[in-house]
Every structure is written in C-alpha cells, then in structure tokens.
C-alpha cells in the first residue's frame, strides 16, 4: 500500500511545528493539518484581552535551537499572546515549516487499516490522506467548553468565548458586559474589560486563588545573562517537577515557625508568579500546610478589596493549587471599581440566558455583550471530537468511555502507530508545556527512526504496560491534594465526563526517566511488528 506521507501531524501549535521539523530532519515525510489560518495553536485562538502566558517568557520557549534562543528577543517577563504568536510565526518562517502545513482544514476521522498497516485520515475538505503514523498535537486546552445553560441562543447581543476570540478584537467601550467564569482566562481579561466597559457584571460559581504576576519589561542585562547561560537554565528546569527553573523550598510549612513562614510567603508574593506554590514542599501534600498557604492568600484579598462582602465572595474556600493557580495583574483591585459588580452564583446555577442578559437567583441582569470565560473540555476534548478508530474499528471515544487510558500519555492499546503529544497520562498541563512538548517530540522522532532501522512497521503498547502506567498515573494522583476537587484536571467541568485525574503528576524528571528506561529496554511495553 503506498502512502502519501510517513506521518500526518494534527495541529500546528508548538507541538505540531516542532514535530514536523524533527521528522524532516530525520528524513521522514509529513503533512501537518491545521484548522486555523495560521500557526500557534492555543496562541492562535486565545486572543482575549489580557491573554499572556504565566510561565516566564525566557522559559516558555523552544530550546532545540541555540540560534533561535539567541536571536529571539522577549520583551516582557510574561509574554503577551500577540508576542507569543509572533514567536510561533517566526519559528514557522525560520524553519520553513509552512510548505508542509495545510491550513484551514480539520481532521474529521482517522481509521487504522489493519490489512495495510496505514492510517486513513479524512478532512472536512473531503480528502483522505494516507499515512503510516498519526501524531496528534491538538493541545490540552483547545476544545472550548460552551456551558449548557438554557436560552444561550436567545441572547440578542454578541457572545464571545475567551478560547475562541474574534481575531479583529472586541471594543467594549460604552458597553455593558456580563462575564461567566472566574478561571485563568477570566482573571486575565476582567481587569482589561473593566477598563473599557461602561459596566461589567461578573458571575462567579467558584472563587479562585490568584497570585500577582508583577509583570514588567525585561531588563536587557537580565536577558543577556539568561542567553549566556541558557543550557544550564534548561538543564536545571528539567530537574524540577514542573519543568520550570524556580527554587523549591524543601521545608514543610507546618514544621516552619510562623514568623519565618510569613516571611517566606511574603517574599514569594513580592516576587510573583506560580513559584508561590513552591514556598514549601508540602503545600499539595498536607491539608494543614495547604490551609496555611490558603489563609495567607485569603488575607491578601481582604487587604485589597474594600467592600468586605465582595471580598468574602472572592475568597476561595477550597484547597489552594487544587484547581490551577491563576496569575493576575490587578484582578482583585478591579472589584473596587464602581463599574464592576460581582454576583455569587455558587449556591444556585444560572437559571437561563435571556434575550437581554441572564436570570440568576430570581433576578434579571441586563447587558449588551456576554463573555463566556468557561474554559475547555480539557485533555481529551479535542481528540474525541475526531472519529479515531483503531483495531477492529473500535472508536477511541468508546475505549475511553470510563476515562482515558494510555501508555506514557503518548500511545493507546488498540491504536497502532498513533502518538498523542501531551495526551492524557502525560505531565503536560502540570508542567511548562514547551519542554514537555519537546521531550515528547524527541521521543516520537527517535522511535520512528528506531523502527525504520529495525524494519518494523507497527508499534503498539501492550495491555500490561498500559495498565501499569494507568496505575502509576492514578497512584501519584491519589498522593496529592490536587485530585480532590472539582477541577478540569478530573473532567468535573464537563457534565457527564468520567471523573479521572488525567495528567501524570509524578513530575517531569520522573516522566523523562520512565521514557528513557522504555527506550533503553528496546521499547519496553510496546509490541513491534
Ligand atoms: O477555564 P477554567 P479558563 N456556570 O476551566 C466557570 C489555562 N490557561 O479558560 O470553577 C457558571 O479554569 C467555572 O466555574 P467552576 C490554565 O491551565 C492558562 O479560565 O467550574 N460558571 C470557572 O470559573 C487554565 O487552568 C493561561 O465552578 C461556569 C470558569 O468558568 C486553563 O487554561 C491563561 C459554568 C472556567 O475556568 C483553563 O482556564 C488562560 C457554568 N455553567 C488559561 N461553566 C495562562 O497561561 C464553567 N464555569 C495565563
């Protein structure tokens, strides 16, 4: 059976772009199929006001090319979405990637042909592409979650989803705006929208923890220092569970005297960013330690927010770091503005959307525009939108009915020659995505090269290896407090989605070690045919 390409890569975000580059380097042919008009994935779609990455820009970047590292200039501590998108475009041009990317095309189905050992990939343009391998690089947070609230179609004004924002931007000047949701996307966009809008009404189901970003322009002397020592920084980052080079204080919060504890929290708070959760090593392992950190953040809310009732509604009651910690610029301060109203809907869901706004707790709220900052069907959503069928015509969505199962987060029993970059069961969303993506891509590219050298056509994980991996993913999840709340990590934000803690929480170093062992033992856990 002749094939069109060695591999079809789905998605031209950071995963898909680097996958294409690596496969080309190794002499494989590949076609990237991308729904958007341009590269960038997450950063192509998420154009809401205030969107920026909350991993520092010098770390949220590729490391496979020293030249790229040296020539690219990040301008802010946390890069904005437009800057990250410019970077993605620069990479596409620099490595001449576009000629193998088919834009504005969605994969609708992928079926493994067992007789020919090839994948037949169908697109919404009506064509079928045949390839030996399918490599998905569809992102973990790329399938927007539109909440099932009655009457959504009745709203007369425009409705925007933060995860699929109009490319021309939205000007809220003089408008009244209703926002549903208070996750990362909302926490970044609310302060900006509030500056523009005549009035902003925020509907909050769950209060969220956020730490200040203290974003600032990058000091050229700091950048020069980073550039002079990039390899060391990247190496250090790979020894950290989140793949981010920040210092983890190995002490326990409960065993540290109160004054010292306060000092350390204040220090991290003043520095800003996600490193706050590394103030002590047991914040996600021990209820008491977690409560100490949570109380510290709660006290900060009351220091900032002037109206005590609003401050109380904004105060999270759950475990800090269980839902994804947010990083903000002026979020709580925004609720001191006279043009911002917070509505607590924690005890009663929104009744319905109406033509002029929405009805909640027996009261009608009117606004011109509705913003859904309601997140994503995370980790499995994008994959399961495609009709992926493996051996015996079995659909991935049936295989994963009880929750996703994978080997290394990269492969699935019954789906030969399918690789899922940052799939469920990989560290992905719990880590700095860029180094995780590069690790996956290198693993896959090396694997394809090894198969070619051995004359092997088909690779597929075996049941025992997959079960053992799923056991490890679940085992690690149960050790931490992170699996204990209703977060998107466990699929709780999507009605009917099985409750399974999806990412691997053992940390990037343990994950890399596991992958290296698999390779060293000649692709242990896989059947090669
Ligand atoms: O989505 P979310 P997000 N009625 O799921 C609420 C990454 N990210 O787009 O918590 C009322 O966190 C929901 O309420 P609840 C990051 O990993 C990164 O903000 O389910 N409310 C919640 O408040 C992040 O974690 C960056 O009770 C409803 C909100 O909508 C992930 O993306 C920036 C509702 C959804 O919050 C997702 O973040 C942005 C309903 N029916 C995002 N349905 C950076 O790097 C949902 N909600 C900076």
For the chain, which residues make up each domain, given as ranges? 5-143+377-528, 152-372
Please say whether the beta carbons of 28 and 155 come within 8 A: no
pTM of the model: 0.97
Q: What is the DSSP string of 152-204?
A: GGG--S-EEEGGG--TT----BT-EEEEE--SHHHHHHHHHHHHHBSEEEEEE
Ligand 1 centroid, distance to 493 Cα (angstroms): 9
What contacts 371, CB < 8 A, 6 or more positions away? Answer: 48, 159, 160, 161, 162, 177, 178, 179, 180, 186, 189, 193
Element spanning 526, H or E: strand 526-528
Please say whether the beta carbons of 155 and 370 come within 8 A: yes
pLDDT tens-place values along the chain, 529 residues long: 567 999 999 999 999 999 999 999 999 999 999 999 999 999 999 999 999 999 999 999 999 999 999 999 999 999 999 999 999 999 999 999 999 999 999 999 999 999 999 999 999 999 999 999 999 999 999 999 999 999 999 999 999 999 999 999 999 999 999 999 999 999 999 999 999 999 999 999 999 999 999 999 999 999 999 999 999 999 999 999 999 998 999 999 999 999 999 999 999 999 999 999 999 999 999 999 999 999 999 999 999 999 999 999 999 999 999 999 999 999 999 999 999 999 999 999 999 999 999 999 999 999 999 999 999 999 999 999 999 999 999 999 999 999 999 999 999 999 999 999 999 999 999 999 999 999 999 999 999 999 999 999 999 999 999 999 999 999 999 999 999 999 999 999 999 999 999 999 999 999 999 999 999 999 999 999 9
- What topology is assigned to 5-143+377-528 in CATH? FAD/NAD(P)-binding domain (3.50.50)
Determine if ligand 1 sits within 6 Å of the CB of residue 375: yes
Give CA–CA dist 17/41, Å, rounded.
10
Determine if ligand 1 sits within 6 Å of the CB of residue 53: yes
Instruction: Name the DSSP class of 145.
Output: -
For ligand 1, atom 16, the nearest C-alpha belongs to 184
| Paired tokens of 331 | 């979020």
Ligand 1 probe mutation, 374, 427, 503, most atoms within 8 A of CB: 374
For ligand 1, atom 46, the nearest C-alpha belongs to 374
Ligand 1 centroid, distance to 326 Cα (angstroms): 10
CA distances (Å), origin 264, targets 215, 267, 283: 20, 5, 13
């Amino acid at each position: 059976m002749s094939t069109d390409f060695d591999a079809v890569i789905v998605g031209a975000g950071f995963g898909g772009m680097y996958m294409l580059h690596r496969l080309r380097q190794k002499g494989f042919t590949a076609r990237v199929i991308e729904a958007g008009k341009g590269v960038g994935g997450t950063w192509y779609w998420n154009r809401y006001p205030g969107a920026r990455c909350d991993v520092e820009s010098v770390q949220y970047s590729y490391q496979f090319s020293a030249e790229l590292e040296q020539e690219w200039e990040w301008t802010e501590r946390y890069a904005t979405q437009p800057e990250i998108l410019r970077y993605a475009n620069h990479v596409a041009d620099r490595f001449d990637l576009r000629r193998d990317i088919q834009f504005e095309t969605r994969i609708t189905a992928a079926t493994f042909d067992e007789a020919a050992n090839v994948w037949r990939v169908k697109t919404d343009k009506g064509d079928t592409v045949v390839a030996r391998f399918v490599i998905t690089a569809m992102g973990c947070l790329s399938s927007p979650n539109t909440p099932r609230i009655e009457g959504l179609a009745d709203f007369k004004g425009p409705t925007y989803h933060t995860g699929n924002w109009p490319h021309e931007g939205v000007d809220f000047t003089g408008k009244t705006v209703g926002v549903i949701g208070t996750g990362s996307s909302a926490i970044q966009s609310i302060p900006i929208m509030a500056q523009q809008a005549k009035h902003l009404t925020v509907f909050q189901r769950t209060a969220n923890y956020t730490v200040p970003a203290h974003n600032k322009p990058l000091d050229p002397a700091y950048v020069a220092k980073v550039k002079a020592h990039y390899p060391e920084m990247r190496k250090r980052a790979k020894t950290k569970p989140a793949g981010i080079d920040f210092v983890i204080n190995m002490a326990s919060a409960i065993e540290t005297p109160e004054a010292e504890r306060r000092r350390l929290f204040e220090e991290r708070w003043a520095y800003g960013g996600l490193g706050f959760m590394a103030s002590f090593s047991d914040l996600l392992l021990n209820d008491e330690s977690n409560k100490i950190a949570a109380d510290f953040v709660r006290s900060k809310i009351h220091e900032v927010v002037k109206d005590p009732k609003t401050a109380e509604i904004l105060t999270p009651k759950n475990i800090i770091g269980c839902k994804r910690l947010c990083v903000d610029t002026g979020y709580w301060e925004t609720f001191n503005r006279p043009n911002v109203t917070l509505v607590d809907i924690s005890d009663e869901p929104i009744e319905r959307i109406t033509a002029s706004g929405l009805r909640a707790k027996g009261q009608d709220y009117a606004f011109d525009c509705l913003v859904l900052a309601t997140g994503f069907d995370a980790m499995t959503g994008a994959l399961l939108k495609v009709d992926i069928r493996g051996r015996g015509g079995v659909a991935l969505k049936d295989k994963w009915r009880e929750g996703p199962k994978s080997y290394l987060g990269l492969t699935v029993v019954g789906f030969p020659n399918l690789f899922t970059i940052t799939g469920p069961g990989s560290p992905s969303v719990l880590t700095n995505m860029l180094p995780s993506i590069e690790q996956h891509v290198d693993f896959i590219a090396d694997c394809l090269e090894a198969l070619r050298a051995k004359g092997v056509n088909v690779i597929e994980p075996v049941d025992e290896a997959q079960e053992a991996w799923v056991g490890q993913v679940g085992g690690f999840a149960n050790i931490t407090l992170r699996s204990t709340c209703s977060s998107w990590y466990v699929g709780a934000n999507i009605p009917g989605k099985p409750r399974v803690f999806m990412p691997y929480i053992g940390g990037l170093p343990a994950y890399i070690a596991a992958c290296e062992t698999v390779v060293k033992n000649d692709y242990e856990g896989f059947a090669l045919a």
